Amino acid sequence: MLSIKKINTQNEFSKLKEEWTSLLKKSRSDTVFLTWEWMYTWWECFKGNKQLFLLTAYGEKKKLIGIAPLCMDKKKVVGITVLKYLRFLGTMPISSDHLDFIINREREGEVLKAIVDYLFQEIKWDLCLLSNIPISSLTSKLLREIMRNRPFQSEISQVCPYIPLPDQIEDFYLSLSRNMRNTIKRRRRNLFRKYDNIEFLAWENPDEIDSAMERLFELHEKRWMIVKHKGNFMKSNVRGFHKKIARTFLKSDMLRLYFLRVQGKDVAALYFFKYKNMLFYYQGGWDPKWSEDRVGNILTNLVIEDAINKGYSEYDFLRGTEDYKVRLTDKKREEIDIFISNSYTAKIYLLSRSLYHKMKEYGNKKRI
């Protein structure tokens, strides 16, 4: 009673929106990075020479019960294709956390098995890379059972700190050390003593969202220039993606773009998505000239307070264990990458990749 259909045209993809959204809400993997809007916009902006490879699973009465949001890509060395591999939509050149298959929670085992069987029987590929799957997902456990003797490996790839938000702001600060509470209070007090025109802004104007995003990009680049890093918004197609997704999410009340403005000048910005009453922190930036005033940290705490006042349940920092995150929470989630090889070439690639990372780790330990 279960059938698999491959969708490989953008037109077919566009028509999936309503069914996709309905299914996502019935799955265990319901997150902002698996919404139709995020995935479709990614494909519009970054499809390049990739092949769309959406697998849809249908049950009784042709009801959609599963989606494998994949595309086919190629890994090249000196211009020569050495691997054809499947990967999730939403990955490079941007980052998306909490990725997974989208499957009705009552049909996960049978749908995942049907997808795997289809992949091995119907098409030619070397490697399937399933990245940033929450370690709590059933996907890894079910895949191990389904794969049996087929080549399969996984590794922890990301750590995502998060804050479960309490009902009261005071309870959040009580969860921190006394030293951290005093530091936060002192920094904010000092800023307000030095300047008499300080604004905390949540951007809501759709007519000026592009210019607001440009200010975010500028502050992000300034932040990274001091450590001679290009930042994540350097490429025009990445900027184009985020402008487009910002406009889309603003219309559906899923965008949260915050600024700290001092003396009429934007000195810090934080870029979030709101989904299922949770905040997902994606990127931020601040003017290095204001580093001594810790404007980025002050804005972060103002956003946390605003989220608590609005009754949000969680503040998700997404990937990365930077100091400013772990100082505010000891809660974290881990994500894994799953590698499925389907050729001798893929096995060699995974072996060389493993050796490279071991050598890199050894080199880092020697430097320490």
C-alpha 321/C-alpha 332 separation (Å) is: 9
pLDDT of residue 317: 98
**In the listed set 312, 327, 346, which residue is the last one of a domain according to the structure?**
312
Residue 322 covered by a domain: no
Phi-psi region at 359: left, alpha or beta (left = phi > 0; alpha = psi -120 to 50):
alpha
Residue 280 covered by a domain: yes
pLDDT of residue 224: 79
C-alpha 125/C-alpha 142 separation (Å) is: 21
- The residues facing 85 across adjacent strands are 73, 127
Range of the domain at 184: 166-312
Kind of pairing between the strands at 3-7 and 152-164: unpaired
- Specify the pTM: 0.93
As given in the structure block, the two tokens for residue 137 are 């997902």
Whether residues 222 and 292 share a domain: the answer is yes
Whether residues 175 and 259 share a domain: the answer is yes
Give the single-character DSSP code of 149: T
Burial of residue 341 (CB within 10 Å: 0-12, 13-18, 19+) is buried
Residue 357 covered by a domain: yes
Q: Which residues of 105-144 are buried (b: 16+ CB within 10 A; e: fewer)?
A: eebbebbbbbbbebbeeeeebbbbbbbbbbeebbbbebbe
Which pLDDT tens digit goes with each residue over 270-320?
999 999 999 999 999 999 999 999 999 999 999 999 999 999 999 999 999
Residue 341 covered by a domain: yes
pLDDT of residue 281: 98
Whether residues 345 and 268 share a domain: the answer is no
Residue 204 covered by a domain: yes
Q: Beta-carbon neighbour count of residue 230 at 10 Å?
A: 10
Residues 341, 180: contact at Cβ < 8 Å? Answer: no
How many domains does the structure of the chain reveal? Answer: 2
Residue 318 covered by a domain: no
Residues 220, 231: contact at Cβ < 8 Å? Answer: yes
Whether residues 103 and 11 share a domain: the answer is yes
Whether residues 213 and 110 share a domain: the answer is no
Q: What is the CATH number of the domain that holds 249?
A: 3.40.630.30
- Cα-Cα end-to-end distance for the chain: 58
What is the C-alpha R_g of the chain?
22
As given in the structure block, the two tokens for residue 339 are 């590698």
Whether residues 177 and 305 share a domain: the answer is yes
Residues 55, 114: contact at Cβ < 8 Å? Answer: no
Whether residues 340 and 235 share a domain: the answer is no
Whether residues 175 and 232 share a domain: the answer is yes
Give me the average pLDDT of each 10-residue run along the chain (368 residues): 94 98 98 98 96 96 96 82 92 95 96 94 89 95 88 91 98 96 96 94 94 96 77 91 98 97 96 98 95 95 98 97 94 96 90 79 60
As given in the structure block, the two tokens for residue 148 are 């049996």
C-alpha 77/C-alpha 156 separation (Å) is: 26
C-alpha 286/C-alpha 219 separation (Å) is: 5
Residue 106 covered by a domain: yes
Whether residues 28 and 127 share a domain: the answer is yes
Residue 42 covered by a domain: yes
Whether residues 11 and 63 share a domain: the answer is yes
Whether residues 21 and 136 share a domain: the answer is yes
**In the listed set 270, 297, 312, which residue is the last one of a domain according to the structure?**
312
Whether residues 219 and 148 share a domain: the answer is no
Give the torsion through C-alpha atoms of 41, 44, 46, 50, to 10 deg.
120
